[in-house]
Amino acid sequence: MALVIGIISQKGGVGKSTLSRLLAVEYARNEYNVKIADMDLSQGTVSEWNRVRMSRDFTPLISVEQFNSVSEAMKQGKNYDLIVFDGAPHATRMTLDIAQRSDFIIMPTGVTLDDLRPTIRLAHELVSKGISAQKIGIILSRVGASQNEINGAKRYITEGGYFVLGVIPEKTSIGQSHDIGKAANETAFKTINDNVDELIQAIVNRISEING
């Protein structure tokens, strides 16, 4: 049965599809047969991205498919080593379904209190519905250069009872990379790719730590 990673958030535009693509590429580089379940039927961001990726023959190959329910997507579980759920822009009824079915849940968030409060509230809500807090990892996404702000955000999350997986800086080249069918660790800049690879390694390590 596939490893299942769910990427969800309370707010839109915080980096869910960025992380889905990133994790898919990373695991596929390591010989995993990967399916991204695109649950964002309104935008189909990752489906569009993969069409561009395939038309340009970029490797590793990723499979992306749109589903309107978690149980439909899970029927593919036996055919893949990893299923990544790319959640819809805002938390919905499906968010809990994704969380319940996931071996690990990743929540990207901005660093301001406006962003952190709803993130922690969603995490608490999942925990109140029986999800283990251990299974949740939070990523500070699209962050600016202020180390103070980043440290403050990390403290807020840790005090809330959750694990911070790391940060992704806001970089023009990451957005440009998506536009041409590449992931955030496939940009034109080695330093950015190396930074992002460090974050991925932290995610992969945490997932194996939690799931044994």
Q: Which residues bind ligand ATP (CB under 6 A)?
A: 9, 12-18, 40, 43, 45, 89, 142, 168, 170-171, 174-175, 178
Nearest residue (CB) to ligand ATP, 128 versus 191: 191
Taking the mean position of all CA atoms in its chain, how far away is CA 212?
A: 20
C-alpha Rg value of the chain to the nearest Å: 16
- Cβ closer to ligand ATP: 154 or 171? 171
Q: How far is the CB of 171 from Mg ion (least distance, A)?
A: 18
Nearest-angstrom CA–CA distance, 133 and 156: 15
Which among Mg ion, ligand ATP, none contacts residue 161 (Cβ within 5 to 8 A by kind)? none
Interface residue list for Mg ion (CB under 5 A):
16-17, 40, 45
Residue 178 interface partner, choices Mg ion, ligand ATP, none, CB cut-off 5-8 Å depending on type = ligand ATP
Beta strands in the chain, from DSSP E residues, in sequence order:
3-7, 34-38, 63-66, 82-86, 104-109, 136-143, 163-169
**186: nearest Cα among 82, 52, 89, 7:** 52
Residue 105 binds: one of ligand ATP, Mg ion, none (C-beta under 5 to 8 A by kind): none
Residue 161 has which token pair? 């009872």
